[in-house]
Structures are given as structure tokens and as C-alpha cells.
Structure 1
Amino acid sequence: MIKLLLVEDDLALSNSVTDFLESFAEVTQTFDGEDGLYEAEQGVYDMILLDLMLPELNGFDLLKQLREKGVNTPVLIMTAKEGLDDKMRGFEIGADDYLTKPFYLDELKARIMAQLKRAGKLDDDNILNYADLRLNMANQNVTIGDQPVELLGKEFDLVVYLLQNQNVILPKEQIFDRIWGFDSDTTVTVVEVYMSKIRKKLKDTVFASKLQTLRNVGYILK
């Protein structure tokens, strides 16, 4: 599932946008810049939708701090500030796209999908491939070569997250926050349980051989 962070203090707009986005993504909302920065720093989101005129910390400063901290999550600015200077400033400090209000929701979705494809999160057919492993994001079908493999619920989500972050060290805590969520009733040890399940289901595959455990840290898919 695509995971989006929406940082927007216009409650009416935020709710309408969220209702629309939740048809194809999981959405977390924050309503001021400081909360938005805290959420964005967690590294668990596929994309950030950022207003500029925010209380506590404005969108420009939020984005600047985010990039200075090395967080490279794609950011789409959506704002009423339509001046060329504002757009240039946004791109100069690290925005990936800029959409002025008012906008059509279908255009917002198209821009989100374009950025996710550019970032390697999705391909043109919502298919993820890794050696002989193939995952269909639309219907959650998984095959190894021509043979179907059953990955259920969080198993599927976890494999997708690993594939979307190849060659990146993923701490167990970050995986837990991304897949199970901050408010989960379970504990971070569930990550190890699910990794073991996945290795068993995908044994003798390139995926299993390239999935490495980093002791006391987390995992990396080479």
C-alpha cells in the first residue's frame, strides 16, 4: 500500500483531499509544520504532500530542514502561493513537484503516481520485479517464475517495502513503524517473525539469498 504524509492546516481541504487519497493510499495527516517535520523524519512515507503556509514551521523551512537531515522522500508542494519566486524557491530547496491551489484531485493523483514511478516505487503496470520474483501491486498476486506464491497481508506489504528500498539499511524499528504503524498493539519483535515467514515461503530464491540480517540493526535487500 502506498503511504502518504499530508501536511496541511486547512482542515476542510485536508479532509477532502484525504478522503480522495484514501481510495488508493494510506494517509497520515498533520496540521502544523513541527508535527509534519517529526512525521517526515521517520522515513516511513513514500511521498509527502506539503502546504507552505503552516503554523509553527512554514513549509519552506520544513522542507529545508528535511533535506539537510538527508531525508530524500519525494515532496509535492501544494499551495495557494503561485508566484514564480515561490516556485523557484521550492524547487531550489528540494521540492520534487509544485501544484497551485485550487487543483483537480485527479491531477493531484496523476502527479503523485508520476513521482512514485520516478522514485522507483511503482512501474507503469504497478508491477515490482526482482530476479524471478514478480509482485502485482494491484491484485497482490505473487509469482516465482510461473509458480504462484501466497504472501498474506503484512507479508506482502513487507516484501514490497524491501523491494522498494533495495540496498538501503532498514532498521527494525523503521520497518515496524512503516508496516504495523506507530499505534500497533504488537511489538517490534513481530518484524523478526514475519521475516522468518517470508524466508520460508521464498526459500531457494534470489530474494531469500540476498536478504541479509544486520545483527542488532535490521535488514537489507541487496
Structure 2
Amino acid sequence: MPELPKSQMRKTYSTRKTLIARIKDQYDEQAWQEFIEFYTRYIYSIIRQMRISEDDADEIHQKVMVKLWAKIPDLNTEEILRFRSYLATVTKNEVRQFIRSRTRRVERENKAYHDDSISYLQSIRLPEIDQIAEEEWRVHLTNLALKKVQTQFSRKAIEAFKLRIQGISYEEIAQRVGLTVGSVKKLTSRVKTSFYAEVEQLKQDLQ
């Protein structure tokens, strides 16, 4: 998936409502590319966390995107308090349709007693969709924020920050990245401040 130029990223974050309004035009290719950039991984992650296989997840994800392309032009976005909740609902409905369709096929082919198809379908975590969506949204914001701060600091600073949030001591980090303990403390503190500020900004822009 091609990345947006970094100069466009903050602008797109801060104009989420404008972006949603723009994708109501199904043929605004740039708007849809931006939409895909910010939401497709979130949608795909929800599907995978519901214990959907990779191949089936790819198929469901494509159907969700097609459904969104068809539905959003008629959507009253002003009535949706959290657009991400709408995305989760569309995803859940598509997974339900997948389960119904696959179950009918299994029953039609009389495979229920010959393989684990039914067990697979029953293992899908459909009732947990709201919890899954909430957890994946936090992961999504974290990844977007980390991607942003990586453009603001040196490779060693980012590496030190990642090691620190894993619970690695300052002393060990200093040895790994080739910096003094004092430098590690200073850099990780700066990256942490920028990272959490970015997360909070994203919450405001994208919620």
C-alpha cells in the first residue's frame, strides 16, 4: 500500500470529518486512498482478531471495503458520533454474512461430520466484536503515533524508546544502542513526550 507524503499526514488527521465527506464521492480516488491508508489496517485487524483465517479475512476485508464504497455516499455522517464504531458495525455484519453463507455451504455439502468446518465457524468471536474493535483501535492509534514520531527522531532514539517500553533497563539500552545512560534517559523522555502527545492528538482527530 503506498504511503501518503508526510507533509499530508497531519492535514489528513486534522480533517477527518472532511475526509469522510469527501469519500461520499465514490470517484474521489485521492480521498479513498487516504481512507484506506488510515482505516484498512484497523478493519483487517478486527477481522483477524475474531479468529478468522487469513484467507477468509482477506475475502471479508474486500467485501467490507466494497460495502463501504457503496454505503458511504448515502450515509448521514453527522448522525454518527464515532465513525470507527460504524466501521466496526459494517465489519461485524459482513462477518455474520460470511458465517451464514459458509454454514449453508457446509450443510449443503454434508461436510459437518467429515472435517472441522463447523468447529471453525463456531470459534469465531462474533459476540466480542465491540471489545475487539476497542482494543484494535488503541493498537491502531499507537501504530500511527509511532509512525509519526519516527520521522522526528533519530534511529537510535526510536530504538531506545522501543526497548524502554519493553521494560529494558537504561543501562542495557545504552549498551545495545551505543549511547551513554544519560543520553538514553534524555532521548527516551523526549520520544515518550512526543509519542503520547501524538496519541492524544490522534484521539481528537480520528475518534
TM-score by length of structure 1 reads 0.25
More helix by share: 2
Structure possessing the higher relative contact order (Cα contacts under 8 Å, 6 or more residues apart): 2
More strand by share: 1
TM-score by length of structure 2 reads 0.26
